[in-house]
């Protein structure tokens, strides 16, 4: 049986991936990362979803290094979360320096110690050009490093890299994913704010997929209207 | 002025590297990593050396993930530190899964947030074939990923990759490195044990360089005799 470590934030994309890997019959281990993110709330959603699916869940506590990764609205309480589309220049404030490599390297370390066959993560075609570490060239170089970091060759599996977030919604509907139990909002408030980059993107994905959005949003600014 | 983040354990190799980068006139930031290692003592040596050189020193606290990186004598108190030469099969117990990628990814994240030009680390030609993540092919793939993880291209600088540990001793002597203020031993006791892989290697480096070893060792087993 294939043993797979899924990098699992508790958001839409990684929840669909988790359901997908379970459906394929893999032995699944889910890893969330606490990097001192403002929207720590996603970790509660992640835990609840893993309980729902009955899979092993661990949280990698990296909160001790968040002060070294300054300059992002996601780890610095003094920098507000920008509102608007991801395409806007202000969204650069949400970049956490080298976040993807840090998360993947820790997940890979855990995968090696668990003798897993692959590490899966939900990078997708819509991942944004404001994030340098969402570039395909970066991902390919890191894939190669991950293959070589242990004697036993590990696969880095990115099954959604060629599809959009709306496509992921469609895949999730087919798998019966409880989207109401996923968390996206960067604000991390009681309910989704509806106005930050990740909320706007979430709304658009449901609209583009033609699927009813179960999310309760605090506001619907003009730029976020369907 | 070139701004350089040095991955700095407090051991011989990275202390020479630190002195070397300072000598070159770089603005230097030193980063040590607490990954829950048994020989945490190296962190005290690291702090003292940074104070000696007057450079900024940070410790990345990754102790929260050490339980995910099981199976190594360096993070699991139930697994004893093996004695003997690095070449011996038992030394595999000292491998911390994906340690190098984790350390380098965190150092890179800090370097990006500090707007540094390069990350320096003291990999050398004698780094051991028991460590898959000391392979040149791994390092090259990771170099490439690090170059691509931010818009501003970072250099990963490994100036000792073509020389041996004995050569590093010679470089350090030229730079006036206080070798008595460095820590290698994996046991992390009051003084160097003299018998673990890293102590044996330390002893050999001084002998091969023809430099007097200032280290006090607890024992000198037959296999560690010069």
Alpha helices in chain A (DSSP H): 12-23, 41-53, 99-113, 136-148, 165-175, 197-209
Predicted pLDDT of residue B159: 92
Number of domains within chain B:
1
Interface predicted TM-score (ipTM) of this complex, two decimals: 0.85
Residue B56 touches chain A, beta carbons under 8 Å: no
How is residue A178 written in tokens?
A: 């409880």
| Min Cα–Cα distance to chain B from A12, Å | 24
- pLDDT, one tens digit per residue, over A158-193 is 999 889 999 999 999 999 999 999 999 988 889 999
Q: Are B181 and B166 in contact (CB under 8 A)?
A: no
Question: Within 13 Å and on the Cβ side, how many CA atoms surround B65?
Answer: 35
For chains A and B, CB pairs below 8 A equal 143
Query: Residues near A146 by Cβ (< 8 Å), separated by ≥ 6?
Result: A104, A108, A119, A154, A156, B101
Average of per-residue pLDDT across B16-44: 91
* CATH number (domain holding residue A18): 3.40.50.620
Q: What domain range includes position A85?
A: 3-220
Interface subset of B 13-52, CB within 8 angstroms of A: 31, 34
Predicted pLDDT of residue A15: 97
Q: Does A71 sit within 8 Å of B113, measured CB to CB?
A: yes
Instruction: Say if A226 falls within a structural domain.
Output: no
Instruction: Say if A95 falls within a structural domain.
Output: yes
Q: Does A141 sit within 8 Å of B144, measured CB to CB?
A: yes
| Min Cα–Cα distance to chain A from B70, Å | 6
Average of per-residue pLDDT across A115-131: 82
Instruction: Say if A215 falls within a structural domain.
Output: yes
Dihedral sign from CA coordinates of B58, B17, B91, A101: positive
**Segments of chain B assigned E as strands:** 3-7, 27-34, 56-61, 118-120, 155-157
Instruction: Say if A142 falls within a structural domain.
Output: yes
Number of other CB atoms surrounding residue A76 within 10 Å: 18
Residue B74 touches chain A, beta carbons under 8 Å: no
B42, pLDDT greater than 90? no
- pLDDT, one tens digit per residue, over A88-114 is 666 666 667 888 889 999 999 999 999
Predicted pLDDT of residue A3: 97
How is residue B86 written in tokens?
A: 């690095």
- pLDDT, one tens digit per residue, over A144-165 is 888 887 878 888 899 998 899 9
Instruction: Say if A85 falls within a structural domain.
Output: yes
């Amino acid at each position: 049986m294939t043993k797979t470590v899924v990098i699992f934030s508790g958001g839409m994309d990684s929840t669909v991936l988790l359901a997908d890997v379970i459906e394929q019959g893999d032995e699944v281990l889910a890893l969330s990362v606490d990097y001192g993110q403002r929207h720590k709330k996603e970790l509660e959603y992640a835990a609840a979803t893993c309980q729902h699916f009955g899979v092993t869940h661990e949280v990698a506590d990296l909160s001790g290094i968040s002060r070294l990764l300054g300059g992002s609205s996601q780890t610095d309480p003094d920098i507000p979360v920008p509102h608007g589309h991801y395409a806007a220049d202000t969204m650069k404030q949400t970049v956490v320096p080298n976040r993807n490599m840090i998360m993947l390297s820790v997940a890979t370390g855990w995968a090696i110690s668990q003798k897993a066959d692959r590490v899966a993560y939900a990078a997708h075609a819509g991942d944004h050009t404001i994030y340098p570490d969402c570039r395909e060239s970066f991902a390919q170089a890191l894939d190669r490093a991950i293959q070589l970091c242990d004697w036993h060759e590990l696969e880095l599996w990115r099954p959604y890299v060629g599809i959009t977030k709306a496509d992921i919604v469609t895949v999730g509907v087919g798998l019966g994913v409880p989207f109401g139990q996923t968390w996206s909002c960067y604000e991390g408030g009681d309910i989704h704010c509806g106005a930050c980059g990740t909320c706007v993107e979430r709304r658009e994905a449901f609209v583009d997929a033609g699927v009813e959005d179960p999310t309760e949003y605090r506001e619907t600014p003009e730029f976020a209207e369907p």
